[in-house]
């Protein structure tokens, strides 16, 4: 059965978490601070089965202070659920999330126009036109738009039909030489030991597998697997998974690391890339500039060494080498921001 991780993106307070709860019955805001502030801070996770397979919803924070967390959640997704308030329309973080999703290569999705019960139907067509204009130059151009309400239940059946269709048309994941799991959470459980979670890429995973924690290179064994809260004998690529590890302590693995197949992926302080400077950037990228690179679930600084010339203007692209202070792990074709 097909699985797809879908990043739920959009501006703060546009109703992402409420919509995920209405679709799945799962509350993704689990932290005390999130409940007190009514604001998503960490990544939230929920799931639902559809006739065409399973969707893992990754509820990313919409506030501008948590862009790194948003990238960490969206980087493993095969599609996006863009949430736009019918009342407020496209806002600043809507635009930024669209840009990030485009840079990460997300080209399939659904646009959910929430709080539709609070906007007169006579205004729906105008709001739809403004949303179409906003996504016209992004990876989500041409994707279906559904008006809905998490509280009134209006439009949720139509949204679920579009999400099922999204499963069928979602792109195949990158084919890699082995499994590749960017770690987004690490915790320990009594009697179980160290557990890491993430969105599985590359290949499937099963208990007993040998693995490496990169970039440290520490060898570990997969003791057990869970997906959607159920023990699994096998988890396919594209799924959210919790991995119980043997031979490693909680202190020896952290978010941003990669759990991967031995001998399949290298770590290095130098990575060759093709860089594109966003058309909305306020200046050119120059040779020897220091940048923050968000790839997988890791965020690190690097120095840019351009292969040709001394600058890349907004809207242009060129080849470069990123030089990091410490080793990082990536695969050919992986996208970063």
How high is the pLDDT of residue 39?
A: 43
Beta-bridged to residue 237, according to DSSP, are: none
Task: Give the pLDDT mean for 204-216.
Answer: 97
* Cα(18)–Cα(125) distance, integer angstroms: 24
Q: For 19-23, 170-174, 281-285, which range has the lowest pLDDT when averaged over its residues?
A: 170-174
How high is the pLDDT of residue 277?
A: 94
Q: What is the pLDDT of residues 121-160, one digit of tens each?
A: 999 999 999 999 999 999 999 999 999 999 999 999 999 9
How high is the pLDDT of residue 174?
A: 77
Q: Copy the structure tokens of residue 318.
A: 């060129």
* Cα(243)–Cα(225) distance, integer angstroms: 5
How high is the pLDDT of residue 71?
A: 85
Place of tokens 């738009």: 145
Beta-bridged to residue 189, according to DSSP, are: 193
Q: What pTM was estimated for this model as a whole?
A: 0.88
Cβ neighbors of 245 (< 8 A, separation 6 or more) are 193, 194, 195, 196, 211, 220, 221, 222, 223, 253, 259
What percent of the chain is predicted at pLDDT more than 70?
A: 95
What percent of the chain is predicted at pLDDT more than 90?
A: 79
Cβ neighbors of 78 (< 8 A, separation 6 or more) are 4, 5, 6, 106, 108, 170, 171, 173, 238
Task: Give the pLDDT mean for 190-202.
Answer: 91
């Amino acid at each position: 059965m097909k699985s797809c991780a879908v990043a739920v993106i959009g501006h703060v307070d546009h109703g992402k978490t409420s919509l995920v709860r209405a679709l799945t019955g799962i509350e993704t805001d689990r932290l005390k601070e999130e409940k007190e502030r009514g604001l998503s801070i960490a990544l939230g996770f929920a799931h639902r089965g559809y006739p065409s397979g399973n969707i893992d919803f990754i509820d990313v924070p919409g506030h501008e202070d948590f862009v790194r967390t948003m990238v960490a959640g969206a980087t493993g997704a095969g599609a996006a659920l863009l949430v736009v308030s019918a009342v407020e329309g496209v806002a600043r973080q809507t635009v930024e999330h669209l840009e990030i999703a485009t840079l990460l290569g997300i080209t399939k999705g659904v646009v959910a126009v929430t709080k539709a019960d609070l906007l007169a139907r006579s205004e729906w067509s105008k709001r739809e036109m403004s949303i179409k204009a906003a996504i016209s130059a992004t990876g989500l151009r041409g994707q279906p738009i559904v008006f809905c309400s998490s509280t009134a239940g209006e439009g949720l059946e139509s949204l679920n039909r579009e999400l099922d269709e999204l499963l069928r048309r979602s792109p195949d994941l990158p084919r890699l030489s082995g499994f590749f799991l960017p770690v987004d959470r690490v915790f320990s459980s009594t009697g179980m030991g160290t557990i890491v979670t993430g969105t599985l890429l590359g290949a499937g995973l099963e208990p007993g597998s040998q693995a490496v924690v990169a970039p440290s290179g520490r060898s570990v064994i997969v003791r057990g697997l869970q997906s959607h809260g159920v023990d699994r004998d096998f988890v396919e690529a594209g799924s959210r998974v919790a991995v119980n590890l043997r031979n490693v302590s909680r202190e020896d693995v952290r978010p941003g690391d990669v759990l991967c197949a031995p001998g399949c992926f290298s770590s290095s302080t130098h990575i060759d890339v093709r860089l594109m400077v966003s058309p909305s950037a306020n200046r050119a990228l120059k040779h020897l500039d220091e940048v923050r690179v968000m790839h997988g679930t890791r965020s690190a600084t690097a120095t840019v060494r351009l292969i040709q010339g001394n600058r890349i203007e907004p809207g242009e692209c060129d080849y470069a080498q990123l030089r990091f202070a410490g080793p990082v792990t990536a695969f050919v074709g992986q996208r970063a921001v």
